[in-house]
Chain A
Amino acid sequence: DGGITQSPKYLFRKEGQNVTLSCEQNLNHDAMYWYRQDPGQGLRLIYYSQIVNDFQKGDIAEGYSVSREKKESFPLTVTSAQKNPTAFYLCASTPTGADTQYFGPGTRLTVL
């Protein structure tokens, strides 16, 4: 089946540790996005990538890093510099020439 997968669904880390969230898509979409969602809030853009080996900062990029070495994969690293990393993280992708973003199931990160 085609789709966007994020793993793991739940992730627990100790404060001060870096953690990498996975996002994979087999839809052949060019653009991929990472969002953060806090309780009762909308989505805020962290990073996005329109093509392989290129990415841009979103509205809240500080404390996060990404890579786009393959079209199918757009991993997000939450670094120890992120002051409040506990949140729900959503990955999305968009077909070429289209506007609509399609989302993965999300990863809930809890930093203890």
Chain B
Amino acid sequence: AQKITQTQPGMFVQEKEAVTLDCTYDTSDQSYGLFWYKQPSSGEMIFLIYQGSYDEQNATEGRYSLNFQKARKSANLVISASQLGDSAMYFCAMRPFADDKIIFGKGTRLHILP
């Protein structure tokens, strides 16, 4: 069965420090995409970063990078130089290419402390 696991329900991090949010996934498909979304208190889901299973290099988007370890089925999100505005829920998600649906993890609530 396809599954996304985010083991950190909540994290507190000092402003300007780097943050790593954990995500592991379970799939028998060979081809899939991995996503991270940010959900601030307003509720809207904001797309952050995407990694394809065939991509050999880790994806980066500004202060966000995805630490992709395929053998370990791990897709951790790294936020460099955290800011107060990074406080939000973060969701890891996966879509097997053979499927039309995206599977979401339960999320990690990140609190950035001033």
Contact = CB atoms under 8 A, between A and B. Distances in A.
B100 A101 contact: no
B101 interface: yes
Interface string B21-55: 00000000000010101000011111100101000
A45 B101 CA distance: 8
Contacts, number: 51
Interface residues of A, number: 22
Contacts of B81: none
From DSSP, what is the main secondary structure of chain A's interface residues? strand
B43 A105 contact: yes
Interface stretch (B11-19, B70-78, B102-110): B102-110
B60 to A, nearest CB: 16
B100 A48 contact: yes
A99 B50 contact: yes
B45 A42 contact: no
A88 B95 contact: no
Contacts of A50: 100
Interface of B: 4, 33, 35, 37, 42-47, 50, 52, 91, 95, 97, 100-102, 104-107
The 7 tightest CB contacts between A and B, nearest first, are A103-B45, A42-B104, A99-B33, A106-B43, A43-B104, A42-B106, A105-B44
Interface of A: 31, 40-43, 45, 48, 50, 56, 58, 88, 90, 92, 99-106, 108
